[in-house]
Amino acid sequence: MIFETEYVKILNKIDLISPSKYGSTRNYVDGAVTYISPYISRGMLSTRQIFVSLATKGFTWQEVRYLVQQLAWREYFQRIWQAKKEAINFDIKQPQTNIAHKYIPTAIVNAKTGINAIDKAIHLLYQTGYMHNHLRLYVASVACNIGLSYWQLPAKWMYFHLLDADWASNACSWQWVCGAFSAKKYYANQDNIHKYTLDTQKNTFLDTSYEALPLQPIPSTLIDVADIELKTILPKNQPIQIILQQPIFVYNVYQLDPEWRKNEIANRILLLEPSHFEKYPMSAKTIDFIIALSKNIKGIQILVSEFADFKTKYASCKIVFKEHPLFQHYEGMCDARDWMCESVQGYHHSFFNFWKKCEPMLIQDFDCLKTNKDGFQE
């Protein structure tokens, strides 16, 4: 499994999306998933961009509805992040219950849980930086609801290895699984795993009824735990050239859009802040992927520095950046991100409350875009 880093090839991936097949098969490991999540997370593609593409290809709303709803989940998590800010790092709705420790089972780290489908998925994560969304739920459930780990460290472990690492989606999803952001905990038994992974394994600690799963003791394979160290290796600084008469456009790991202000004359800097990666570490594979993606931005230079030091050094320059919850400390001109549902903002207690507000506007927008094939509304 290879994730392209050339912008033209990434755009081609949008054209290959089959929304109807996606809707009917996405939960299966061999389903018609899009594999575009790393590019959305890195800010190369926006949910709006994909929505417009679908609307102008002649699909009906019913064909695209499920895929658009999944894109809306991503926006929902981002809105929660905007509203909650640092509080997203802690239990959002209520405390996670039935916790044995705040570590991670070594069996998960070593891909030796004894559940074949899960262990294969962890190996694939290490090799490629990708894990199917359904397997992510399985891993989180085993870690938190079977192994009784507090969600934070296992969530950081998964985030560390994912090319599509997005802390909003990651933190909210782990909390949804463990019951800190949902009405009940998510469990999957061996029959469920068989259905969606085509695996036939028997006699595991998940090979039981849903009623029995919460009642069993921690399986022996999940008892040993570790307080793992996740450390980011950043590139060594190379000399950069700043033309003081020009503005500085600041990019980061969540904003690598090659189209952003591309026709304007400016200094373009990919800023990698050590303090950011101390709090939200990423693997060397993910950093390499980010740097490769950044090469699509003409004239980009990479700088490892704190924003405050960078701003002090270039105080005479106008600084421009895109809004993101993790970079509220940036100072300068802030551009908005592209959203499907720009007007539906703030914290919503549930996704379906959020979706209820979004869908009517999306349908209207979709119909308008279909009528105007050039992608612009009248």
Q: What is the DSSP string of 215-255?
A: GSPPPGGGS-EE-------PPPP------TTS-EEEEBTTB
- Return the pLDDT at 377: 42
| Model confidence pLDDT, tens digit, residues 72-101 | 999 999 999 999 999 999 999 999 999 999
The span from the CA of 69 to the CA of 355, in Å, is: 8
Yes or no: say if 235 and 304 are a contact pair by the CB < 8 Å rule. Answer: yes
- Return the pLDDT at 36: 97
For residues 341-355, average pLDDT: 96
The DSSP secondary-structure symbol of 183 reads S
| Model confidence pLDDT, tens digit, residues 171-191 | 999 999 999 999 999 999 999
306 and 196 in a common domain: no
269 and 196 in a common domain: no
- The owner of tokens 């989180």 is 140
User: Does residue 357 belong to any structural domain of this protein?
Assistant: no
307 and 187 in a common domain: no
252 and 222 in a common domain: no
101: left (phi over 0), alpha (psi -120 to 50) or beta: beta
Judged against a pLDDT cut of 80, whether residue 352 lies above it is answered with yes
Yes or no: say if 199 and 119 are a contact pair by the CB < 8 Å rule. Answer: no
Q: Which of these, 233, 324, 237, lies nearest to 286 by C-alpha position?
A: 233
User: Does residue 108 belong to any structural domain of this protein?
Assistant: yes
Q: Are strands 267-272 and 300-304 parallel, antiparallel or unpaired?
A: parallel
The span from the CA of 227 to the CA of 101, in Å, is: 10
Judged against a pLDDT cut of 70, whether residue 20 lies above it is answered with yes
- Return the pLDDT at 323: 97
Neighbours of 198 (CB within 10 A): 11
Q: Count how many domains the chain has.
A: 2
DSSP assignments along 264-298, one per residue: S--EEEEEE-HHHHHHS---HHHHHHHHHHHTTST
The span from the CA of 69 to the CA of 105, in Å, is: 33
For residues 257-284, average pLDDT: 98
210 and 283 in a common domain: no
**Res. 1 pLDDT band, cuts 50 70 90:** confident
User: Does residue 377 belong to any structural domain of this protein?
Assistant: no
User: Does residue 27 belong to any structural domain of this protein?
Assistant: no
Q: Tokens for 184, please give them.
A: 């009940």
Q: How distant, in Å, are the alpha carbons of 184, 228, 304, 364, 369 from that of 156? A: 22, 10, 22, 39, 39
User: Does residue 15 belong to any structural domain of this protein?
Assistant: no
The span from the CA of 310 to the CA of 65, in Å, is: 44
- Return the pLDDT at 14: 95
**Res. 371 pLDDT band, cuts 50 70 90:** confident
Q: Which domain holds residue 263?
A: 248-335
pTM listed for this prediction: 0.96
Q: Which of these, 210, 172, 6, 12, lies nearest to 90 by C-alpha position?
A: 172
For residues 276-294, average pLDDT: 98
189 and 118 in a common domain: yes
- Return the pLDDT at 376: 45
Domain of 151, CATH number, reads 1.10.579.10
Yes or no: say if 343 and 330 are a contact pair by the CB < 8 Å rule. Answer: no
216 and 140 in a common domain: yes
- The owner of tokens 């849903």 is 210
181 and 279 in a common domain: no
- Return the pLDDT at 149: 98
Yes or no: say if 93 and 181 are a contact pair by the CB < 8 Å rule. Answer: yes
Report percent pLDDT > 70 for the chain. 98
For residues 122-149, average pLDDT: 98
User: Does residue 135 belong to any structural domain of this protein?
Assistant: yes
The span from the CA of 300 to the CA of 357, in Å, is: 39
The span from the CA of 143 to the CA of 149, in Å, is: 6
The span from the CA of 354 to the CA of 351, in Å, is: 5
The span from the CA of 148 to the CA of 234, in Å, is: 33
**Res. 111 pLDDT band, cuts 50 70 90:** very high
276 and 219 in a common domain: no
Mean pLDDT taken over the chain: 96
User: Does residue 33 belong to any structural domain of this protein?
Assistant: no
**Res. 372 pLDDT band, cuts 50 70 90:** confident
The DSSP secondary-structure symbol of 145 reads I
Q: Tokens for 106, please give them.
A: 């070594």
270 and 188 in a common domain: no
Residue that is last in its domain, among 335, 350, 367: 335
Q: Which of these, 328, 279, 276, 316, lies nearest to 156 by C-alpha position?
A: 279
User: Does residue 213 belong to any structural domain of this protein?
Assistant: yes
H or E element, residue 322: strand 319-322
Q: φ, ψ for residue 334 (rounded to 5)? A: -105, 120
In the chain, the N- to C-terminal Cα span, in Å, equals: 41
104 and 166 in a common domain: yes
289 and 213 in a common domain: no
- Return the pLDDT at 373: 62
